[in-house]
Amino acid sequence: MTALGDAQVAAIGRFAAGTRLDDVPEDVVGFARLLLVDTLGALLGGLRYPPVRELSRAVADGAEAGPVPFGLLLTLGTAATWLDADSGGSFHPQGHRLPPVPTAHPAPHSLPVLLHAAAATGMSDRRLLEIFVVANEVGLRSGTASSLRPGLHPHGVHGPAAAALAGVLARGGGAAELSRAFLLGSSLPLAATLAAPMHGATVRNVWTGLGSWYGALASELASSAGDDGAATYSALFDSAVCTELSVEQLVGDLGSRWELVNSYLKPYACARWIHPALDAVLAATSSSGVRGGDVRGVAVHTFAFAASLDAVEVRSDMHARFSLPYSVAALLTDGVLDAGSFLPEQLSRAAVAGLARRVTVHEDPRYTAALPMERPARVEVRTADGRTLSTEVRNARGNPATPLSREEVVAKFRGNVGAVVEPSLTEDVLAALLDPDGSDTSSVTVLARRVLALLAGG
């Protein structure tokens, strides 16, 4: 490891200040459009949940919110991960990294800052996408350049740096401010435990909200010169919260190697360890038309970390999202797992709860040994008419090698957003963000102002 120095920090600032969308390869921009749509859909879907709206009322900023509104950013960041449908870095370049958690989740940290800025300034969709690409490229690099300590969760760790860069870029700050913003945003990573969401603690989502707010605050503080804190970054990301820092992975080939495209997009609004089993369930049953009422039982064989998510009686929507039996039962019943699948009234359905009790979960040591580059699962679905439908999946869809199609991302967006805002507005946003010729519009600004008004009204 080489300690992060002034030259490397300055390179991050120059990259962030100087990169324009026309400089970014077409495939990277194309994926970034999908990533932005996906993250926005997850955030809007999170606003459908009563606890998120209650949080918004409890921390409302009032008329004198200032440039860094704590309540708004906390709410939007919390909403962005409430569904557990947000993206992250896919596989760590150091292939031995376990447990197999995402390398970083910068997008749901930076998007709230961009929505606040868009509402205030009338930012064009093209400029918003440009900032989104740059900020999240750096955030993902910070994640792949270090290894999160085992037992910790990645929310609030690398994302605040991306949020800080987004804030400075949104107000037109230069390279020196961006360098300071990266360090300031990185200087207070959360060291929260992975066990919390595994046991249903919805506080996991607040970590992203706190990270969004802290990143925005860092962007404001970066306007004043001061100690840039490169030594603090190295101490935090090569000792305290993360280890094995690689400065080359962080800053090497900035502008020519793009970490952004190594993100995954989730097909389902639940814990990613569960996704291979869900893919296998769909593969086993789709051709036969089998649904929940046709199923006598399901046996799931998977790797150890997924097999540990075997709770049947769920206490919250987060607990349900980290329950393999419940997620399998809900998918078989509804055919989808999106924002609507885990709303409070859905958790009390007797048919889903009954089917969840007939889902058994088993660790297969061969599948555990395949980690972390493969996350296999095999399911055996026993039907009421005596058939057994079996399928094995080696990795879930949505990874770089098996990406979701544009149509799947759009369908996921619509399913998550539901009726949070009027359908015509969400369709305008889709058209603008996914059409390379339509990004001189300001549809996200219109959406952001609508969302802020919605939250202000309770």
HEC assignment per residue over 182-208:
HHHHHCCCCCCECHHHHCCCCHHHHHH
**393, 424, 445 — which closes off a domain?**
393
Whether residue 344 is found in the same domain as residue 326:
yes
The answer to whether residues 212 and 353 belong to one domain is no
Would you state the pLDDT for residue 458?
Answer: 63
pLDDT at 29: 97
The verdict on 351 and 441 lying in the same domain is: no
The residue among 358, 375, 393 that closes a domain is 393
416 contacts 45 by C-beta, under 8 angstroms: yes
Q: How far, in Å, CA of 276 to CA of 95, rounded?
A: 19
Residue 389, φ and ψ in degrees, nearest 5: -105, 120
Does 207 lie in the same domain as 95? yes
Specify which residues 383 forms β-bridges with: 295
Same domain, 200 and 277: no
Same domain, 91 and 237: yes
Are 335 and 188 within one domain? no
What is the number of H-type helices and E-type strands within the chain? 22, 8
Q: pTM for this one? A: 0.96
170 and 95 share one domain: yes
Angle at 321 between CA 391 and CA 197, to 5 degrees: 125
**Segments of the chain with pLDDT less than 70:** 1-2, 63-64, 92-99, 227-228, 438-439, 458
Whether 79 is in a domain gets the answer yes
Angle CA 405–441–255, to nearest 5 = 60
- Could you say which of 393, 420, 444 is where a domain stops? 393
Within-domain flag for 1: no
Range of the domain at 375: 272-393
Does 276 lie in the same domain as 258? no
Confidence (pLDDT) at 5: 92
Domain count, the chain: 2
**Can you give the pLDDT at residue 393?**
97
CATH of the domain at 330: 3.30.1330.120
- The 10s digit of each residue's pLDDT in 13-50 is 999 999 999 999 999 999 999 999 999 999 999 999 99
Strand spans (E) along 303-376? 359-363
pLDDT score recorded for residue 439: 58
Pair 145, 234 in one domain? yes
Whether residue 323 is contained in a domain is answered as yes
Q: How far apart are CA 126 and CA 112, in angstroms?
A: 17
The pLDDT score that the predictor gives to residue 373 is: 84
Give domain status of residue 26, yes or no: yes
